């Protein structure tokens, strides 16, 4: 872990914050995890000046909307992105205490904020992507499919006029659908509560909302994932192809859920290399 710390955190909301906490509580930091997020922020980790290429990625850690795996799917990922010349911004977003749409509000606000302040961060406003893991992959996919909808009234008029579309996305063992039989029940319950109405299930099942302007996407998933079935990535990939969106899917025979960038048995250890190649092929890194 290097540059991203709480000390240089960028608040997402300086005015009224949309959403009301359902279960008040204090934010907790326990080992590699953060829970009960009260004040959503971006934790910036810019690429070194001598290698920075202007591309930026908002890193969205997973944790079933119950907690954030802030080390394995946050700080370690930011270090890797920096090694590619990419500036990383780890998203610390609201969780089950608020439920959806608060996490989506946080990510859309983060995208607007980075794009609006791109010169300040030495990044290109048309090269801002999202990289999400597990439930963070679901949230990243929500931003890719619902970016054009007016889901909240921005307290900042300038930000409100800035678009929130990610320019590209990488989704790693993502939750995509909240419909049976492939739903991750823990994530669905945390973000939508018990017995959500059908319209809410449809809204947050991202494979149903892919359009031609959904961003180009890289996906990686384990065929033997015991937590989030690989069908989540397959459904999203098929929807991307149908809509004519450039996409790449790596479906590994073996890849345990939640490994992040850490080594596993077999070829899945190399998914970061495959993602690097995809970024380079699409002109996002040199």
According to the model, what pLDDT value does residue 182 have? 85
How do the pLDDT tens digits run along the chain, 286 residues long? 556 668 799 999 988 888 888 776 899 999 999 999 999 999 999 999 999 999 999 999 999 999 999 999 999 999 999 999 999 999 999 999 999 999 999 999 999 999 999 999 999 999 999 999 999 999 999 999 999 988 777 777 778 789 999 999 999 999 999 998 888 888 998 899 888 999 999 999 999 999 999 999 999 999 999 999 999 999 999 999 999 999 999 999 999 999 999 999 999 999 999 999 999 999 999 9
Is 265 domain-assigned? yes
Alpha carbons 47 and 82: distance in angstroms, whole number: 5
Is 42 domain-assigned? yes
- Sheet containing 67-69, strands listed edge to edge, beginning at the edge strand earlier in sequence: 28-30, 33-35, 67-69
Instruction: Measure the CA angle with vertex 174, ends 173 and 179; round to 5°.
Output: 125
Encoded tokens for 108: 């859309």
Backbone angles phi, psi at 212, to 5 degrees: -60, -25
- Straight-line distance from the first to the last Cα atom of the chain, in angstroms, rounded to the nearest whole number: 24
pTM over 0.85: yes
Please check whether residue 167 is in contact with residue 127, taking contact to mean a CB–CB distance below 8 angstroms: yes
Helix (H, G, I), strand (E, B) or coil at 110: helix
Is 41 domain-assigned? yes
Helix (H, G, I), strand (E, B) or coil at 220: strand
According to the model, what pLDDT value does residue 233 have? 98
Q: Which CATH number goes with the domain that contains 104?
A: 3.40.50.1820
Count how many domains the chain has: 1
According to the model, what pLDDT value does residue 80 have? 98
Q: Which residues lie closer than 8 Å to 244 by C-beta, 6 or more apart? A: 212
According to the model, what pLDDT value does residue 195 have? 87
According to the model, what pLDDT value does residue 3 have? 61
Domain of 160 in residue numbering reads as: 6-10+25-281
Is 286 domain-assigned? no
Is 232 domain-assigned? yes
Alpha carbons 236 and 132: distance in angstroms, whole number: 14
219 CB burial (10 A radius; 0-12, 13-18, 19+)? buried
Convert 6-39 to b/e letters by CB count within 10 Å (16 or more is b): eeebeebbeeebbbeeeeeeeeeeeebbbbbbee
Alpha carbons 118 and 127: distance in angstroms, whole number: 10
Is 220 domain-assigned? yes
E-strand ranges in the chain read 10-11, 28-30, 33-35, 41-45, 56-60, 67-69, 87-92, 128-133, 169-172, 217-222, 247-252
Please check whether residue 113 is in contact with residue 12, taking contact to mean a CB–CB distance below 8 angstroms: yes
Closest CA to 118 of 192, 178, 58, 203: 58
> Left (φ > 0), alpha (ψ -120 to 50) or beta: where does 64 sit?
left
Please check whether residue 254 is in contact with residue 222, taking contact to mean a CB–CB distance below 8 angstroms: yes
Is 171 domain-assigned? yes
Is 34 domain-assigned? yes
């Amino acid at each position: 872990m290097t540059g991203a710390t709480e000390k240089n955190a960028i608040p997402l909301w300086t005015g009224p914050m949309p959403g009301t906490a359902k279960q008040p509580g204090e934010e907790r930091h326990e080992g590699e995890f953060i829970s009960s997020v009260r004040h959503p922020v971006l934790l910036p980790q810019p690429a070194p000046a001598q290698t920075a290429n202007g591309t930026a990625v908002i890193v969205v850690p997973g944790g079933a909307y119950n907690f954030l795996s802030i080390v394995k799917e946050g700080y370690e990922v930011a270090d890797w992105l920096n090694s590619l010349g990419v500036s990383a911004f780890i998203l610390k977003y609201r969780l089950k205490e608020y439920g959806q749409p608060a996490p989506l509000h946080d990510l859309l606000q983060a995208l607007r904020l980075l794009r609006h302040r791109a010169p300040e961060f030495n990044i290109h406003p048309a090269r801002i992507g999202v990289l999400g893991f597990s439930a963070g992959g679901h949230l990243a996919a929500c931003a890719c499919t619902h970016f054009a909808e007016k889901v909240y009234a921005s307290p900042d008029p300038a930000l409100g006029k800035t678009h929130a579309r990610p320019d590209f996305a990488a989704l790693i063992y993502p939750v995509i659908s909240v419909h049976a039989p492939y739903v991750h029940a823990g994530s669905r319950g945390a973000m939508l509560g018990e017995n959500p109405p059908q319209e809410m299930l449809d809204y947050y099942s991202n494979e149903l909302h892919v359009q031609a302007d959904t961003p180009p996407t890289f996906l990686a998933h384990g065929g033997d994932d015991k937590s989030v079935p690989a069908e989540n990535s397959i459904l999203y990939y098929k929807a991307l192809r149908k809509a004519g969106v450039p996409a790449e899917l790596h479906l590994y025979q073996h890849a345990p859920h939640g490994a992040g960038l850490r080594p596993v048995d077999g070829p899945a250890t190399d998914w970061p290399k495959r993602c690097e190649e995809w970024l380079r092929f699409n002109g996002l890194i040199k």
